Each structure stands twice: as C-alpha cells, then as structure tokens.
Amino acid sequence: MTHKEKAYQLLHQKYHCSQALFGAFAGDFGLDLKTAFKISTCFGGGMRQGGTCGCITASMLVLGMALGFYDAQDRELEMYGNKKTDEFIHRFTEKMNGNVYCRDILGKDISKPEEMAVIRQDGLILQKCPTALDISIDILEDMLAEHLKDIAEDAMALEDIPETDEMHSVLKNMSRLKRFRRNVNNLLYSTSRSVAFIQFDIRKFKIVNDLYGEKFGDEVLDFIKNQLKECCNEKQYFINLRSDVFMVVTEYDREEQLLEFIHHLDAKIRKFKQVKLQMSYGVYTVEDKEMELRQMEDRAAMARKSIKNNILVNILFYREQFKENLYNRKFIEENMQAAIAERQFLMYLQPKYSIAQNKIIGAEALVRWNHPERGMIYPNEFIPVIEENGFVKRVDYYIWEEACRFIKKCVDVGITDCPVSVNMSRVHLLDDECIYKLSDMIERSGIPKELLELEITETADGQQVSLKALQLKEEGFTLLMDDFGSGYSSLNILLETPFDVIKLDRKFMENMLVSGKGRLILEQVASMADRLDLGLLAEGVETEDQIELLKNIGCDQVQGYFYAKPMPEDEFFAQLKKQNGK
C-alpha cells in the first residue's frame, strides 16, 4: 500500500489529517499506528485550533524523523528551522496557492463549534483535505528521494551507513527500488523483445509467521531472494517490494517462454525446510512502453490480488476489468467506516404479501448504501467485499437496529401484525455475540420478540446453521430458512433445525416452473411444509402465472416484484398505515 493509500484509508476512518499523514509514514520508522497517533496528536496541536494545516505539522515530523534537524555549527538553525523545512513549506505554499491554514483550506474555522458542525455535516474534511495530503506526500517522497541520492548515490555507498541508523533499512529499500526502476526503464527502451512485469507473494504468509515465528518468515524471504538471484539473468531484474511481495521484470519472445520461467521459479521456491509454500503470480505484459512505470507495476499487482482466493490456478495475466474491480474494492474498504458513522447505509423494506388476503403480512429488511458522491451502491457491489473482510457484522448490526426502531414505530401507532425479518450473515454462526446483540436491541427498543424474525441461508455450513438455530430458537426467535433449494443439503438441515418458515429460492422457483416434473416437486415441497407445520414463502415472484401456481399448490405467502420492490422505510410505512386505516 502506498503512502497515499494509507493516508486516505486513515482519513476515511475519521483520523484527522495530521494523524493520517504521519500514520502513512509510521511503518517507515518502525512505529505502530497507536504510537504514531500519539506523537502526531501532540505535535499537531496547533492544527486543532484552526491554525497551520495539520499536513504541514505532520510533514515536519516526517522530515525530522527522516533527516534529523541538527546542525552542530548553528544552534539557532537547529532550533528554529533549516533549509529542508523551509523548502517544504515553500513548495507546499506554492502548490496550495497560499492556503496553509486549516480554516482557509476548509473554508470554515474548526475552533468554532458551530462551524465544526457544518464541516461534519457537509463532509468537508473528506472533500478538501485529500488535496493537501496528496501535495504533502508528493513533496515528502521527492525530498526523501533527493536526500537518499545525496547520501547514497549507489548501493555500495549505502552499505557504509551504520546499521544503528534508524533510517538505514528505509533508505536501503528506497535505494534498491530506485535502482530497480532505473534498470527496468533502461530495459524497456533498449530491448526489441516483449517485456513482462511479474509480481508474486506467498499465500497466507501471515499464517506461516504465526505458526513458525517471524524469524522463520524472514528466512523464507531470504531463501526466495537467493533463488531469484540464481534464476534471473542480467536482463531479468527483481526486487522485494515489501514483506512477502516480490517483482520480476523480464524480456520474453513468446507467452509460453514467460510461463516456463514462472513455472521454473515456482518449482525453486515452493518448498522451504519441509514447509510447502503457495504463490500467487500476477503478470502484466507491456503494451505501451510510454506508460508510467508505476502503472505497469500496479497492473501486475491487480492481477496478483485478483487471484489470491483462487485455489485452482496461481498465475493470472492482467485484464482491464481488474482495474475497475480493485478500484471498486478499494473504494468500499476506504468508505465503509464512514458509511456507518454518517448513516449512509439505509434500510429498505420489501413487503411480504398474502395472496388470499391481498395484503401486506410482513417485510424483509435489506441494506442499501447511498454514498454522498457516488450515489446508490447496491448489495451485489459491496456485500461480497464486506463479507470477506468481516465488516458485514457491523452492517448487519446496523440494519438490525434500524429494523427494531421501525418495528417500535409501527407498534406505537397500533400496527402489531407486521413482523420484519433480518438477514444473518454466515459470520454470525461462528460465535454467540449475535444472540447477545439481538436480545439487547429488543430489550432496549421494547418490542415483542416475535416481530423481529431471523433469516438464515441454507447454503451456509449445515452443522453450524443447526447449532446456531437451536440456540436462537431457545431464545424465542422466529426462524426462516432462506434460499431453500439453492444448495444440496436443504432436507438435512430441515430435519436437524427448528425452522418456522421455508423461503423458496428464486432460482429454485424458476427451475421448477419450466416442466411438469418441476411443478410436481414444488407441490410436494408445499405438501411437506404443510405436514411439518412450517410456513412457506416464495420469493422472487414476478408474474400472474407464478401467483396462480402458488395458489393451486397451497403457498399463500409471497415476496417479489409482482407486488412490490424493496422501498425506503417511509414509503413502506405509509403503505402499511393506509392498509391499517391509520
């Protein structure tokens, strides 16, 4: 992750600009974020009074840590500044068109409570501060690179820097990267052959460190570096970018030749001291040699990241769609914390209807994300990402709270016959936290427990579903088996789990309706539900023909676009009040 990416991530997590900027460089100085935040908060105190921009104060700290503001010959210079600080401030002031004070950049004074309220309400920090962050980081990286050039023109000179120098490893890595890019640049413009960027890392390297220790992990990395020295010729350049991420740039004539090189390398490094290692290789084949070097590196990185969870293959060539997918993922991860804090996540409600009564008998709570700049983001875009990184728990809790609040709103006007069901993501099956959360929400909101129903997908792990469902049933919750018919274990789970309602999966419904045999199966499922005293609800109902079939087989409860799409809660509440004569 680049300094800018780290800074943006921290800014979106509600850290102020001074913390975000210094936190982005913290790892370069061997500092953890907690320590870095303490330092930057003290150092950047003036910024909170509406004074100098926090990006300046944090940049002074970065420069001080990296370069050391010390001049034994000039005590005044040591105490009050030096050429490097003056240079930074001059360049920053020029790039920012003279705006160096926080109040000038934001257009509001953060030292005044009423103006701070406007800053928060309008999201001015996320709108205005990134420009100052970008400019600061660009200047810092440029100044640090120049400093490195002054003290270490090449790697041999760098070796003379004492190991005790806390910047030694940082400077050494910067020197290597600079030399690597210089060599790659020369290769691109001197060869008539094709050129490829190969970026790879060790899958689940953190587990290797956790199981065998960090010392063993360092030995693995040294082993890979040594194998790369043996495998690569003088026109094949490699570098250890960070941790377990490596890059190789090579010439080639045919794609088969390129793959042969990767397979040869993989055979050399896939095992170390009886420990099997699995790599993920992302490959970008250069099409435009005028493209910036970092863009080429980024494309190889995109391919590498796109393959990390694919257990069948470990080599992937870059495709343009990776850029959009990874940018979208990055956007979601950077904005998800703010989405909770700023209530950008919205609860939509999709009505459940009784065919016979032609009336609303309940609703399912669904999540939507209305971003202030990007607009509506739909679940298929962000749910897979937050499921993977675990943030789905917080989103679920948020929607559960919203559902409880809505139910209380209904009860307060006398509507007590409209239960709302909420979805339980599979992460909730792993611990008991969800039970405590649900019980607490219901107690605080003062609603009847039976009005908050729980939907658990049948495609989740069968044993875990059964165990969790038994616990929830003992707590008195109404349970719906979501997506019945979408997997292979529906009947087994139904046998072992005390569900109250079966929800027929949309695809299951569609498949059953295309043949006589399918309709017979659907009839038997309805008959089975009736004999087991289970409710039956069909979702994804969109046509009059589907309604007629469901009526004929005895399925009265439906949900789908035939009756209504998911809608904002105010719109649903209005329909509910009208139906109840309120």
* pLDDT at residue 107, rounded to an integer: 81
pLDDT at 346 over 80: yes
Kindly report, residue by residue over 409-455, the tens digit of the pLDDT. 999 999 999 999 999 887 787 778 888 899 999 999 999 999 999 99
Each residue's pLDDT tens digit, 65-98:
777 654 444 444 443 446 777 888 888 888 888 8
Residue pair 303/283 in contact by the 8 Å Cβ criterion: yes
Higher-confidence residue of 338 and 485: namely: 338
Confidence band, pLDDT 50/70/90 cuts, at residue 158: very low
pLDDT of residue 580: 86
159 pLDDT higher than 60: no
Distance of alpha carbon 480 from alpha carbon 419, whole angstroms:
12
Measured in degrees and rounded to the nearest 5, phi and psi for residue 559 equal -150, 130
Q: What is the mean pLDDT of residues 257-272?
A: 92
Confidence (pLDDT) at 73:
43
pLDDT for 155 equals 43
For residue 401, name the pLDDT band (cuts at 50, 70, 90).
very high
> What's the token pair of residue 545?
């023909």
Q: What percent of the chain has pLDDT over 90?
A: 30
Are 230 and 268 in contact by the 8 Å Cβ rule? The answer is yes
3-state helix/strand/coil string of 304-357: HHHHCCCCCCCEEECCHHHHHHHHHHHHHHHHHHHHHHCCCEEEEEEEEEECCC
Question: What DSSP assignment string belongs to 511-550?
Answer: HHTTSHHHHHHHHHHHHHHHHTT-EEEEES--SHHHHHHH
- The mean of the pLDDT values for the chain is 82
Residue-level pLDDT at 162: 47
Model pLDDT, residue 2? 77
Token couple for 514: 């295309």
**Predicted local distance difference test score (pLDDT) of residue 58:** 86
pLDDT of residue 156: 44
pLDDT digits (tens, 9 = 90+) for 505-539: 887 777 766 677 778 888 888 888 888 888 999 99
Q: Which residue has the higher pLDDT, 243 or 197?
A: 197
Q: Is the dihedral of CA 203, 206, 209, 210 positive or negative?
A: negative
Residue range 485-504: mean pLDDT, rounded: 70
Report the pLDDT value the prediction gives residue 359, as an integer from 0 to 100.
Answer: 93
Name residues whose C-beta falls within 8 Å of residue 376's C-beta, 6 or more positions apart in sequence: 368, 369, 370
Which of 57-66, 370-379, 480-489, 531-540 comes out lowest in average pLDDT? 480-489
pLDDT per residue as tens digits for the range 166-214: 445 555 566 677 788 888 888 888 888 999 999 999 988 888 887 888 8
Q: What is the pLDDT of residue 200?
A: 94
Residue labelled with tokens 């994300």 = 369
What are the structural domains, with CATH classification, of the chain? 3-151 (no CATH), 191-325 (3.30.70.270), 343-503+565-579 (3.20.20.450)
